[in-house]
Structure 1
Amino acid sequence: MAGLFTRIRKQGDPPENGEATPPPVAPIAASDLARRVELLDSLEETGVGWFWASDAEGRMIYLSPAALEPFAMRSDEFAGRTITQVFEEERREEGTSQGGRPLKFLLAARNSFGATPVRVKLGRGDAWWEIAGKPRFGKDGSFHGYRGTARDITGTHEERRKQERASQYDSLTGLANRYRMSRQLEQMLKAFAHAKRSCALMMLDLDRFKQVNDTLGHPAGDELLKQVAARIRGVFGDRVEIGRLGGDEFQAILPDLDDRGQLGDIAQELIQMASQPYSINGSRAVIGVSIGIAVAPYDGIAPEELTKAADLALYAAKGGGRGQHRFYSRELRDQASFRHQIEQDLRDALHGEQLRMHYQPIVDAGTHEVACMEALMRWEHPDRGMISPADFIPVAEEVGLIRQMGTWALNEVCRAVTTWPGTVKAAVNVSAVQFAADDFVDVVRGALKRSGVDPARIELEITESVFMGDVERSARVFAALKKLGVRLSLDDFGTGYSSLSYLRDAPFDKIKIDQSFVRGCAGKDSNNLAIVAAVVSLAGALRMETVAEGVETKDELEAVTKQGATHLQGILFSRAVPSEEALRRFEAGELHYAPRGPEKYRAERRTEFRRIGLIHGDHRYNVFLRNLSKTGAKIEGLLGVEVGTEVVLDLGGGQLAVAVVRRSEGSSQGVEFETPLISDGAEGLCTRHRVSPYQIELAGKPLQALGDDPYAALMSMQNRTPKAFMEVQLG
C-alpha cells in the first residue's frame, strides 16, 4: 500500500534513505532569453501550440516551423502574406467572432481577440486552426503588429460542424429547421429595424399532401417533400433563407422586399411550380401549395407578430380554395373570428334545414334552350343571412362535414330533377373528399334508387384534384359510376392540374372550360380564345361535350360559340336561382334563355360601397368608393371636382393610390390610377406599396405595425388653404 499512499515531498525536506541530493532549483528569469526561447521551441515542437506574428502593416513575419510542415512550405515562401490571406475566418451562424465583431474589424481596430476558428490554406493543403492574437505597441504608442498563438483543430472541427448543422437543418430536405428560421427571423428583424429596411415572410403549406401519405405511404411522402424542397430552392436560389418548419409546412424569409406586386409574382411562380406532377417510385402525384405573406415592418415588428400575420394570411389562402396566395391585412383577424363562428354554426345548419339548393342553367349553344341545371349549395343563416359557399365549403371540408353535406345535396338534386321536364339534366359538384370516401358509389346508388330518377339525367361534376394519389382506385370508381348510368363531367379544366391522361383514361362525357379562360377571350391581346379553341377541338376528337363557363358579355358569347363550344353557362343567361323559381319557369314551359348583358368585356371591376379617404392639398375628404378596378375607380360624395384634378385615394391599411380625375358629373367622379393596383391573391385588389411605419416613426410616433389609420398617424393636416371641394351626404 506504500506505493499508493506516498507522502508529498515539500521543498527543503531532507532526502529519504538512498536518495541522491537534488540539484538546486534554477528558475527561468525574465532576462534569461536563451532559456525562454528554448522553452518556446520545445512547446512548438510538441505541436501542442504554435506562435505567429505580424508587422505593423499586417504582413505575417513568423509562424512556427512545425505549423508549416503539413503544407510543405518554407518560411521564406510564407513570409509577407497578410493575416487575412492566411487566416480566413469561419462563417459561423452568428456571422461574427468574439465580441460580436468580425475578425477583419478587430484587426483594423487593433483589438485583442480570443480563440477564433479560422480556415488555413497554404501550399498544397488546408486545415482548421483556432487562433488568438494581441496587438503589440512600442513605448511611444506606435503599433508594431500582432503576436498570437494557434493550434490545430482540424480533427474536431468537422464533427462540430456536423453537430451544429444537425441542430439547425432539417435532416430530410436539407433546409433550415424551425429553430434556425426562428433565430434568423429574430436577428434579421432586429437588424433591419435599426437600418430601416423591410423584410417579407412567406408561409407555405402543401395542399392534399396527406392524401399522398395515406395512399402511397410515408416513404413516398418523404420523397415528395424532398422534391418540393428542391423546387422551392429552384425558385428562390441562394438569395433567400428557406426552411421546413415540420410536416408539410415551409417558410421563406425575403430581405429588402416590400413590393406586393413582386411578392405576388413570386408566390404565383411557387404555386405553379408546386402544382406540376411528381414522379415517386413509379407513381404519379399531384399536389398544390397555399401561401400566406406578411411584410415587416408593415404587418409586424416582432418575430411573433409577423409570424402570426403570415399564418393568418396562409389560413385565408387555404380557406379561399387552396392553390392561392394571400397578403396579410387587418381584416383577416376579423375573418378568422368569422370563420370560427362559421365552423360552430355549420353543424346546426345541416340539421336545421338552413341549406338550400340553387340552380344555374347550362344552355345549348345553338338554341339557347336549357339542357342542364348546375346545382349550387347555399346557406341561409338565421342571423347572418345568405353565406357564400366560398366561406363555408372550405370549412366543411376541414371539419369533416363535406361528405354529409354532399350526400344531402345529391339526394336533394335527384328528387328535384324528377319534377323537371325530361330533357333537362342536373349537374352536381363532387368534392375530392367526397369522391375519396369508400362508400361514395353506394351513396350515389342510394340517391338514384330513392328518387327513381333516370341515372342519365344526373351529371357528376368532378375536378382534376380527384386524380391525386391512387389512380387505380379512381379508375375503379369511375367504372362503377358509369355502370350506374350517370354522366361524368370534368370541371374547371385547365386550372393547374391538367393532364391528357385524365381524358384518355377517365370516361368523361363533358369538359367544362374554366371561366378564367372565357373571361375576356374576345379581346385582341388575349390568348384565352386560343386555349378555348384547343380544349373544344380536343373534346370534339374525344367525342365529349364542352361547356364554356362564366359567359358574361355578348362578345364572349360570340367568340366561344364560333370556336364550337356545345354548351354555355354564365350570368349573360341567368344567375343561379332557388329551386322553386326554376320549377315555376319549367312549369310555364320557359326553356329558352335569351342572352341579356353588356355587349363587350370590360376590365374587371369590383362593385363596392364603402367609405374611403380622398386627399387633395391640405385636406382629407370622406367619399364613397362605388367600384374598383386595377386601373381606376368610381367615387361619390364631392362637388366641384374638375376633370384633370390630381388626388390621392386612401384605400385603408396604409394604401395610398395617386390618381387623376378623368370624369366628373355632379357628385360622382371617375379616377384613373397612376400605378395600377394588383391582385391580393383572392378576388380583391391592393396597392403595391403602403405607408411605411418608418415614415410614421420619423413623424414622431413609436415604431409599430400599421394601425387602423396610418395616414392620420403620418400627417397632421394644417388646413392652411380653404377646401377646394364640397362634401355631400349620400343616402
Structure 2
Amino acid sequence: MAVVDQNGVVVTANESFGTLLGTEPRALRDQAAADLVDLASDGRTWHAYREVLRGRRSRFRCTRRLKHADGRSLWAEVTVAPVPDSRRVLLSITDISDRRELQARLRHLQMHDPVTRLPNRALFFERLSAALEASAQDAEDAEGAQDAGSAGAPEAGEAISSSYESYRYGRTGRIGLCYLDLDGFKAVNDTLGHRVGDRLLAAVAARLTECADSDGYTRSGGHLVARLGGDEFAVLVEDSTGTEQLADLARSVLCALQQPFDLAGQRLSVSASIGVVERSGHGTTATALMQAADTTLYWAKADGKARWTLFDPERNAHRMTRQALSSTLRPAVERGEFALEYQPLVDLADGAVRGVEALVRWNHPQFGSLAPNRFIAIAEEDGSIVELGRWVLRTACRQARQWQKDHPRERPLFVSVNVAVRQVWDSDLVADVAGILAETGLAPHLLQLELTESAVMGSAGRPLQALQALSDMGVRIAIDDFGTGYSNLAYLSRLPVSVLKLDGSFVRGFQDEEHANPADELIVEALVQLAHRLGLTVTAECVETSGQASRLRSIGCDTGQGWLYSRAVAPDRIAELIGSEPLSV
C-alpha cells in the first residue's frame, strides 16, 4: 500500500509495495502514483483517479499490467480509496498474476477442443463475430472518408488516411470460409473404435493447420482452423482476396486429406466435402454466413462428395423457393389453391376432340401460377402427392361428368389424369378410383390414368396388381413419355396398358421435308405398328405444326396433343370445343 496526497504524489509506501515493483519503498516517495501503476494510459481510468483525489468519488478499482524492475511483467488489481479524516488517498495493489494465469488456462480449455487442440465452436464464433465487426467498421471508415472528401471537410485527410492504412495492412473487408465434413467418418468409429477415430481427427486437424498456415497470414495472424463438432471443421479466412484464394485453399485441403493416414498401425484413407463461401464482411452476419456454408457443404455432398463447392446465390434462391413450396404444399390443398386446366387430345384422322389431359396448376399467393414441374417432384418426396393426386382425380372426373351432362347428344370426352407411383404405394389407388367414379357417376372407360414409362416398366408386386385391377375395372392405362425411359418392349405384352404416349422429342424431328429427321420417323412408325399389333393406341405429344400432324397421320398415329390444337385451357373453353368444328385436319 501507499499513501498519496491530493496532488497524486506518493507520501509513503510500505515494504510490500516496494517489493511488488522491485524497488525500495524510500525510492517511491515524491513520485507520481499514476506513473507507478499506469493510471494515465487511458482517459476513463485517469478521470476516475482524479475524481477520487478531488474527493468527488469514494473509490475505484481497475486491473493493470505492471513492469517489475527485473523486466518481468505482472498483473495487478489497483484500488484507490480516500483516507478517512484526511485529504489523502490510499493506493493499494494486489498481485493477481496467478489468478490471471489460471483464468487464461481455464479459458483455453473452454475454448479449445480436447481431441484436436484446435479452437472449438465457441472460439470460432467469437473470432468470426470480431472479424465481421472489424469489416463493418472498415466499411464505415471508408464511407466516411469518401463523404468527407466529397464535402471538402477539414477531417477528410484524416479519414482518407485511416482508410488508406486499412488497406495498407491487407485489410480487404472481405471474409472467406471453408466448411468441411469428413466423408464416411462414422464408419471409422463403428469399425475401428473411437480411439482410432480420435487419432484420425487429430491428424486431420494437423493437416488442416498446415494448409492454413501455408496459405498466408492476415492482421489477425494465420487463418483460424476450428473443430465445430463431430467430424466438422472450418477454416476462417479474414481479409480474403477473393474466391480464387478460397478455391486454392479448398483444393489444397482436399489434396492433403487424400494422402493416407498412418495411425498406430492403421492405414486409413479419407475424403472430405467442403462448402466454400466468400463475400464482403459488411452487411452479413455470422448466422447468414454459416447458413450459406452449411448449404454449400450439403451441395458438395449431394454432388458426389470428395469435392469442394462454391456458394451460388442463384442455386440458393432456388433451394429457398423449393423449401418455401415444400412447407406450404400440404395446407395449400386444404386452402383450395390448386386448379385444373385441360389440354385437348385430338383424333389425327378427323380433328375431333376425343379427350383431355388434366394438368394441375398451383395458384401460389407468393409465386403466382406454378406449372406441375415446379411442385410435383416436391409433392412426391414429402408424400403430399397422395392427397393432391386424390383431389386432381376427383376434380377431373367431376368435370368430365359435367361436360357429359351439359352435352348429352355429343360423344363424351374421356379425361386423362397423371398418377405418381407413390400414389400406388402410399394409398389404395384402386379403392380411390372406384370411390371417385361412383361418387361422380363417370363411366370407367372415360377415365385414363397416365404413368411414366420408368414407373410402369419396373412395375411388380403391388403396383402391377393395382394396374391390373384398374384395367379390369375398365379404366384405361397410358404410358406417358414413352421412349425416354427403359423402353423394355417385352413389358408391353404383359402390362395392362391401353395407350402409348410418345415423348415430344420424337415429334420435334417431324419438321418439313427439308429439315425432317428420317430416323425419328422410322422409330415412330415402328412403334406405332408395334402398338397397333398389340392392340394399343398411340398419342403423340408436343404437336406444334400442321406438317408434324400430317406426317403423324400418314404413319397411323391415333391422337395428337400440342399447341397446334390448343394449350391447356380452363374448363369452360373445353366446353366450347365439344361438338364444334374439328381443330385441325
If the length of structure 1 is used for normalisation, what is the TM-score? 0.39
If the length of structure 2 is used for normalisation, what is the TM-score? 0.48
Higher helix share: 2
Bigger CA radius of gyration: 2
